[in-house]
Amino acid sequence: MNVADMTLRPATLDDAAFVADVLTEAHPDDPEDPQLMRHWWTIQDPEATVERFVVSVVGADAGFVSRSHESWAKMPERFGRIGVCLRPAAWSAARLDALVAAMEDRQRADGARKVTMWAWDDDSQHIGMLKQRGYREERRQRFWELDLVAGRERITKMATESRERMKKEGVRILTLADDDDPQKFERLKRMSDEAEADVPTTVPHVPLEMDEFMKWLQSPGLRPDRIWIAREGDDIVGISQLAYPPVRGIVVTDWTGMARKARGRGIARALKCETLMQAIALGVDRVRTDNDSTNAPILHINETMGYRRRHDGIQYLKEL
Ligand SMILES: CC(C)(COP(=O)(O)OP(=O)(O)OC[C@H]1O[C@@H](n2cnc3c(N)ncnc32)[C@H](O)[C@@H]1OP(=O)(O)O)[C@@H](O)C(=O)NCCC(=O)NCCS
């Protein structure tokens, strides 16, 4: 397919590393891991629509563009997503605009009613293009970083207090590797789906199928002995895990979630403390996380754990 002076070819899984390179080149402070990107591409609902293209200019690969949406049966609100990034050397406002226009056309033809796109709050060129195309700010994602070297003592103290509290609460904190319940994955998924449904979002969340959930846990950034869970009686009531990028990037919270009935008792904090203590023991010097800017409990936890804000991610929305 040709768009302006660019050629688009469908991306295969082998192009994921290139896309991670392009994103890293464009945003060096937020490096993307090629293996995590490839793995992420394998996790999609079997009924979802996902199109990814490698963009080339004069025969040389210069970026990517993508569009996706859940099946309309599972998401009747009909939101679509668009992603785009060009290498700095190939970047121009006109090219970016043409690529987004092409994806909007494909989303519209496919029945989408609204599309969302993300931008860093300090990427004025990208934001300028979005505004010109009629996008408006919908939501912010707060990005944070925690210095594990400077914060070591404070985090260790918090972890000790959390362990005491969990003992008193009768809650066991352990890794998934140490849990011998044959039904642990089903229990974990039920709990995780419940928590995910409570993350503030504009684009409705469609729960993963069990197969996709299992694939997620097999990420090259995760390991069963680094996935921390909370048990109360027969139930798994919480989870927190850091993803360790195998090739490049910063260790980052992959997911933290709690069963509704067990919230407000310090369990999420206790789980997060264990992930941090483990990272410190492994020699990690800093970790990152990001949360929706209206998610009060997790913002409060992260702030009081000593995370410092970085730039925000902004979600833009356009009615088609
Ligand atoms: C976010 C979540 C994991 C917190 O779990 P939790 O076990 O209730 O958390 P904790 O009890 O350890 O800590 C909650 C803290 O937030 C505070 N808090 C709760 N609601 C709050 C609110 N509306 N405003 C400000 N602070 C709030 C609590 O007082 C507590 O603070 P404290 O430790 O200083 O007393 C849980 O609410 C959840 O699963 N939400 C849905 C999934 C989600 O949003 N995950 C994280 C983002 S990806």
The CATH number given to whatever domain includes residue 196 is 3.40.630.30
82 CB contacts (<8 Å, ≥6 apart)? 65, 66, 67, 100, 103, 104, 107, 115, 116, 117
Give me ligand 1 centre to Cα 175, in Å.
21
User: If we measure between CA atoms, which residue out of 53, 77, 54, 68 comes closest to residue 117?
Assistant: 68
Statement to judge: residues 159 and 182 lie in one domain: yes
Number of helices (H) and strands (E), helices first, in the chain? 9, 13
**Are residues 168 and 311 in contact, defined by beta-carbon separation less than 8 angstroms?**
no
Statement to judge: residues 157 and 116 lie in one domain: no
For residue range 56-112, what is the model confidence (pLDDT) as tens digits? Answer: 999 999 999 999 999 999 999 999 999 999 999 999 999 999 999 999 999 999 999
Any domain includes 54: yes
Statement to judge: residues 71 and 177 lie in one domain: no
Statement to judge: residues 118 and 170 lie in one domain: no
Q: Last residue of some domain: 111, 134, 157?
A: 134
For residue range 107-150, what is the model confidence (pLDDT) as tens digits? Answer: 999 999 999 999 999 999 999 999 999 999 999 999 999 999 99
Q: Which residues form the domain of 199?
A: 143-311
Which residue of 300, 302, 307 sits with most ligand 1 atoms within 8 Å of its CB, as the best mutation to test the pocket?
300
Is 298 touching ligand 1 by the criterion CB < 6 Å?
A: yes
Residue nearest to atom 3 of ligand 1 (CA): 257
Any domain includes 320: no
Give me ligand 1 centre to Cα 273, in Å.
14
Section 220-229 average pLDDT: 98
Statement to judge: residues 171 and 125 lie in one domain: no
Statement to judge: residues 179 and 60 lie in one domain: no
For residue range 179-190, what is the model confidence (pLDDT) as tens digits? Answer: 999 999 999 999
Statement to judge: residues 60 and 175 lie in one domain: no
Statement to judge: residues 73 and 190 lie in one domain: no
Statement to judge: residues 252 and 161 lie in one domain: yes
Tokens at 158, concatenated: 């918090």
Q: Last residue of some domain: 134, 154, 173?
A: 134
Q: Last residue of some domain: 103, 134, 165?
A: 134
Statement to judge: residues 305 and 166 lie in one domain: yes
Any domain includes 216: yes
Statement to judge: residues 9 and 41 lie in one domain: yes
Q: Which atom of ligand 1 is nearest to the CA of 259?
A: 39
Overall number of domains in the chain: 2
Give me ligand 1 centre to Cα 267, in Å.
9
Section 286-305 average pLDDT: 98
pLDDT at 229: 98
pLDDT at 164: 98
Percent of the chain with pLDDT over 90: 100
Any domain includes 316: no
Is 297 touching ligand 1 by the criterion CB < 6 Å?
A: yes
Give me ligand 1 centre to Cα 54, in Å.
40
Give me ligand 1 centre to Cα 173, in Å.
17
Statement to judge: residues 306 and 168 lie in one domain: yes
Give me ligand 1 centre to Cα 305, in Å.
12
Any domain includes 318: no
